[in-house]
Structure 1
Amino acid sequence: MNYNDVAQEILDALGGKENVSAAAHCATRLRLVLHDEEKVDKARLDSLDIVKGTFSTSGQYQIILGSGIVNEVYKPFIKMVGISEMSTNEVKSASTKKMNPLQKLVKLLSDIFVPIIPAIVAGGLLMGINNVLTAKDLFVHGKSLIDANPGIADLAAMINTFANAAFVFLPVLIGFSATKRFGGNAFLGAALGMIMVHPDLLNAYNYGAAQIAHKVPAWHILGFTIEKVGYQGTVLPVLASSFILAKIETYLRKVIPSALDNLLTPLLSILVTAVLTFTFVGPITRTAGDLFTSGLAWFYNTTGFVGGGIFGLFYAPIVITGMHQSFIAVETQLLSNIAKTGGTFIFPIAAMSNIAQGAATLAVLLVIKDKKMKSLASASGISALLGITEPAMFGVNLKLKYPFIGAIVGSGIASAFITFFKVKAIALGAAGLPGIISIKPNAIVIYVIGMVISFVVAFSLTLMLAKRNAKKHPVEFKEKAA
């Protein structure tokens, strides 16, 4: 393969070097910021054998090339454009200028929460393992595994401790990531998070009971009463406090003489932010977070399977816009208050959507004749079933349209089914076949049935729509399928 020729063909299809503002690559994709996406000749791009799919999201035009290949194409591509090698973060920064306020908010949340996902996923899956060990009737009638095997009781207790850590100390993780994103010192952000979960404070999970008993501890300073309550498992308070911390630190570094900067800036930043957190910011945002979580629970419980079906129907279109990244913050809040919420309903619905996308893509494999599309459909269909839908959705289903329709209908029906039975996840993970371990043990069977429904409906409907499309537009279908 001549990568110089490939890079030139891609560049020509993009409208020439004058249309490229910034370029980077990740493991599989060219990630570009274009001056005018209307100049892109999408049909020409799609005709290239090396191109597995294209899509535009969050101000970036992304071209799926595949692992290993993208690196080789990128090298001559940036030389032809006349720009230096850039990181994905630099391209993200350039793409932000093209976003509207809502897209910028979604990107902000994504930048904060995506880096801490591994810690949350690890903790959540450990929680799932603990539940498998302690759930009654899962493997032994009338007993849990630790009831049947008392010798592993301490193993379950140890795993439970490991699982809770990421959620108990969640403000430390968010404080580090958010403060860094807001332009402050990440370690000051972590220190602020530590203050918010200090052992001397009343544990946030015991706050409700302490309020009822009128035994909430407090500081009494100059006539003011400040509650000594921690912020374990919270999201909004630490986000707001991290923003304030970063802005105070940035301001102080500008006004404090350099000789005193390292001494006074960290001291004043932490002191002022911590005082504001416990007096105003924390209580207000804690209430807002509780209301938000209660509102989601109300919506889920009130709308029932109808709301779940609608959410499942529109989940994939939401993914196209990139707004699904904001769900990470919501799910983190739901999982942090698992005793109150019972878990997150978003993860199971996301899994139904991913399974449906995979099923629709595999259905295309049976009706399509084009070798390139067949190859892409087989690999991306399996990938979608495992929770990675990008190649399937953008490379196959959206390109042919009718598989995407079959997929969202299958997702909607399956989501309505699992919502009717109140299926929730107690952890984050791969939303698809591997997601079984993230589901509450007593709902695993319903979750599996939901996946079967999602697969069968999306697969069958895609085949039906393919045949109808072939009869209604035979010339068009031959161009796509032959």
Structure 2
Amino acid sequence: MIMVHPDLMNAYSYGTGAVVPTWNLFGLSIEAVGYQGTVLPVLVMSFFLAKLETQLHKITSSCLDNLTTPLISILVCGFITFLAVGPMLRTAGNLLAFGISWLYHSLGFIGGGLFGLFYAPIVLTGMHHSFIAIETQLLAEAAVTGGSFIFVTASMNNVAQGAAVLAVLATTKDTKLKSLCSASGISALLGITEPAMFGVNLKLKTPFYAAIIGSAVGSAYVAFHHVLAVALGAAGLPGFISIRPADWPHFAIGLALSMITAFVLTWILAKKPQSSQAGKIKAKAELNNIDDQTCVAPAEGTVKPIEESTDRTFREKLMGDGFVLFPENGQVCSPINAVVKFIFPTRHAIGLVREDGVEMLIHMGINTVSLNGAPFEIFVEEGQNVQAGQPLARMDLQQIRQAGCSEEICCLFTSPTAFSWTAQGAVAQAQPILTLGEKQ
């Protein structure tokens, strides 16, 4: 709270020509400016505060700890923040802003494309607020400069973020994620990107990459045609009111390029991993030529005895003995050579049965029955023969985690079956981990 205290000058007024108040402390002149809208100073000082407080707890008497530790921690961190860390990182932001201005005006459409590519990552740090001083100057001298390129680039970025979210909306089966995407996607197209960027794209990663590429394409186009803004406004689809009327056609084309690129790339990246990965798993299983007495890891990850499951029912072997695997990715293959006996309607569990009667339950995630099958895609049918290592399903680990569920895969022998371990800990997918005996 000290970094945004109301007695400090608001950070959004910094660099606009307003008089900056200062403190005179120990002969030093320190600017009394807040850090609204910044991220780097907050992250750095939060880390320092946590470390300092931990050390103070260790050396302070218990009778004084509650009183002196918070006081000393805030006092020291506040002094360091306003004396060194804050101004240094703010200066870094200013240098970045002026560097981008040079890049844009010196390299033309290449500079514009690079600015568009890095605009979203800069927003994540909060240093985009350093652009206010440059944009204010560009608009004040519009008769000479022609206007602001920053607003135009921000518009390309915002619509690209929105289009990426709409692509997620079109491809996901998670009802909660769909609800978030529909609201945040439209909001981003209208100029407010925080819900889209932080709530969807960054969490899923690939939509964010697609969005910054889309922003780069659109920004390169508008830079090539010297599209400029003559006023501030909502950076997105409503941005036409801030653009020179003569530039409206090129501005519209730039928006379209940003949106189409981000949407298509997000769509492709969302669909690509599943089929290629499934083919690799199957080829690996065929290469291993796994026999009927071998049980393999259903996914890449860490495999442990079932007693280490987070679920009490599985941990206490109420449904049978087996193992638990904490997966690194969402691809799930068959652990044994068997027939698919059943597939739960909610797609979170698959039952297998071997020719000799050995039965196995593959339970994907804990409490995932409540997700109504949204994070799962099944590749097999009931009654189908499957080989150990053959793809069975795909789990969307991100959706499962967002729902507050564990993604662990529990594999249980629901019929009493003897087995011995051949591998534990970190394993590759389709790697042999158990040797099975006969049904008891």
TM-score by length of 2: 0.45
Higher strand share: 2
TM-score by length of 1: 0.41
